[in-house]
Structure 1
Amino acid sequence: MRTGVMILPEKRWPEAMHQWRTVDELGFDSAWTYDHVSWRGLQDGAWFSAFPVLTAAACVTSRITLGTLVASPNFRHPVTTAKDAIAVDDISGGRFVLGIGAGSVGAGDSNVTTRQTFSRGERTVRFEEFVTLTDRLLREPVTTHHGTHFSAYDARMIPGCVQRPRLPMAIAGTGPRGLALAARHGQAWVTVGPADWARGFTPEECLEAVTAQVAAVRDACHRIGRDDADLDRIFVVTDQAGDFLTSPASFLRLAEAYAKAGVTHLVVHWPREEGVYAAGQEILHRIAQEALPRVREL
């Protein structure tokens, strides 16, 4: 099992730089950030744009995979998203993964470019078109596409991705259509647990939901004749998974449970001083020293 760290883009760069370097130096496999204009209960605090932050992170790290978890059609367009992704892929030396999701109404930024609130079904349709067009843009030097929601006219993506045939995409989705997108277009699939996680779940219910989701994404792969073993299965851990940042032992127990469920990549949040994802600032160092070697064997 691989392990990554989610770093919220809320710190000015002199402090944020330390976070990204630390994840790299401690031996974690990946580091990610949310892609929002603002986010939930932190919407009135500092919040920086994901792609510039990841570009800066690429310049101060040398080993870890970097990525968005996740970009969405709520305020992005495939042409500019693909162009930014290609740049980060180049600057990082081929260490970038583009995570994409359908977007959430409750995230706090779903109406920053339009007053229209899309239904779940409408978001899914926009998501499908966004992913399909982005896939083309990342593969082809010039793309023209006349879509219902997104279009591209002689969109040039030169010189293209460092990673071939294109940089990896991590597709977030738990419904049938989202899982089908992950199976068809993704090099990774992403979940945060139960689809309606905001209403609250016990750790046992969260594990049960992820176990069922992993089985469903495997079925989606098999329906199109794809070997699910080549699809990275990423679980972004929230507080509903349990109090796992209290000790290396609790983290290891979490990793063992989710590895058994079929997760291949566990992403935890950088401990914040207070509020959401608050924990002791030293815990990542202890996890790296005492738990990571055993987690890699799972």
Structure 2
Amino acid sequence: MRIGLIGSCGTPAQMVRLAREAEQHGWDGFFAWDAISLDDPEFDGVATWDPFAVLAGAAAVTERMTLGAMVFAPPRHRPWELAQRALTVDHLSGGRLVLPVGVGVPSDRAFTSAHGQPTALRDRAGLLDEVLAWLERSWSGETFRFEGEHLSTGDFRLPQPPVRGRIPVWPVAVWDAERPPLKSLRRALRWDGVVPQLRATDAEPGPDDVAALVAWMAGRRSRDAGPFDVVIQGRLSDDRGRAREQLAAAQEAGATWWVESWWPPEPVTPELLLDKARRALPSR
């Protein structure tokens, strides 16, 4: 199982430094985040930055780390601009970019009708599917047109494909063992991984939740399907023994990624994140 870290606060320069030092200390991934103006008192005063610009900087100072964001919000992006920015970071990093994706943070003021953005969750979910389909078409290098319910474009062609032919997509999917929400789960099944969230709770999925989700998805994926990542977020204990237990339980449940998720407000600071990045990983 691989271990990543979210650069949840700090200046762009501090985030790039965080990525560099995390790689030097054995971390497997660095993730930015994608929001513009949060109507959330906990994030009052927390600056938001262009995730692709941050990741471009991280790509320039790292060599092996996976790069992404937790998570990108495609419904807020024009698909051709999103495709170009993702392709740029993909090539700058030598094919290390992944695209965890969701419908967008509900409290982001960028999702308002006044800004011409879809506000209803159903519309954002529909647009998410169409933007992802547009991205996949663009990776072919061929000229294409797109006609959807939410998105229509004329002829487009991006002649340069991603380094590895495609960029892995990890959709967020809501999990409820009693009533699996099929739409988000089926979306994840069509792509390369899943970032699970529990229904109607801020709690992170535990090992039992992950195991149930993995079993549900395994029964519905074709045997010849390619690699599939299960990406969970959490906080490792400062006690190394307990941290090893957390990672072992997550891996046994079927997770392929653990992403350290420390978010503002206090006491989360750029200095705290850098201190965590410099610590020896409990699984190494």
- Cα deviation, 1:90-130, whole Å, max 9, x if unaligned, reads 111111112211224245543283375203x3333222222
Instruction: State the shift of 1:281 in Å.
Output: 5.4
Given the alignment, which residue of 181, 188, 192 partners 2:193?
Answer: 188
Aligned residue type for 1:246:
D
Partner Cα separation in structure 2 for residue 158 and residue 134 of structure 1 = 13
Instruction: State the shift of 1:67 in Å.
Output: 1.0
Matched with 1:33 is 32
Matched with 1:81 is 82
Aligned residue type for 1:84:
R
Partner Cα separation in structure 1 for residue 23 and residue 189 of structure 2 = 29
Matched with 2:168 is 168
Matched with 2:278 is 285
Instruction: State the shift of 1:181 in Å.
Output: 1.9
SS in structure 2 opposite 1:16?
Answer: helix
Matched with 2:227 is 230
1:248-267 to structure 2, matched below 5 A, reads: 248-267=240-259
Partner Cα separation in structure 2 for residue 280 and residue 160 of structure 1 = 34
Partner Cα separation in structure 2 for residue 12 and residue 101 of structure 1 = 24
Identity of aligned residues (%): 24
Is the 1:179–1:220 Cα contact (8 Å) retained in structure 2?
Answer: no
SS in structure 1 opposite 2:77?
Answer: coil
Partner Cα separation in structure 1 for residue 224 and residue 44 of structure 2 = 41
Matched with 1:245 is 237
Partner Cα separation in structure 1 for residue 79 and residue 134 of structure 2 = 7
Partner Cα separation in structure 1 for residue 277 and residue 115 of structure 2 = 37
Partner Cα separation in structure 2 for residue 51 and residue 268 of structure 1 = 20
SS in structure 2 opposite 1:105?
Answer: coil
Is the 2:25–2:280 Cα contact (8 Å) retained in structure 1?
Answer: no
SS in structure 2 opposite 1:89?
Answer: helix
1:1-298 to structure 2, matched below 5 A, reads: 1-8=1-8, 10-39=9-38, 40=40, 41-107=42-108, 109-111=110-112, 113-114=115-116, 117-119=119-121, 121-164=122-165, 166-174=166-174, 175-184=181-190, 186-191=191-196, 193-198=197-202, 201=203, 206-221=206-221, 225-227=222-224, 230-237=227-234, 244-269=236-261, 274-275=266-267, 282-288=275-281, 291-293=282-284
Aligned residue type for 2:283:
L
- Cα deviation, 1:205-241, whole Å, max 9, x if unaligned, reads 74433332222322331xxx2456720111122x6xx
Q: Gapped runs of 5+ residues in structure 1?
A: 294-298
Q: TM-score, normalized by length of structure 1?
A: 0.81
Is the 2:7–2:273 Cα contact (8 Å) retained in structure 1?
Answer: no
Instruction: State the shift of 1:256 in Å.
Output: 1.4
Tell me which of the two structures has the higher relative contact order, counting C-alpha pairs closer than 8 angstroms and 6 or more residues apart. 2
Rate the CA distance shift 1:139–1:105 in 2: closer, same or farther, 3 A: same
Structure showing the higher helix proportion among its residues: 1
Rate the CA distance shift 1:261–1:151 in 2: closer, same or farther, 3 A: same
How many residue pairs match? The answer is 274
SS in structure 2 opposite 1:266?
Answer: strand
Instruction: State the shift of 1:195 in Å.
Output: 2.8
Matched with 1:296 is none
SS in structure 2 opposite 1:230?
Answer: coil
Q: Gapped runs of 5+ residues in structure 2?
A: 175-180
Cα RMSD (Å): 2.7
Aligned residue type for 2:52:
F
Partner Cα separation in structure 1 for residue 157 and residue 200 of structure 2 = 38
SS in structure 2 opposite 1:197?
Answer: coil
Is the 2:75–2:128 Cα contact (8 Å) retained in structure 1?
Answer: no
Aligned residue type for 1:234:
V
Is the 1:251–1:287 Cα contact (8 Å) retained in structure 2?
Answer: no
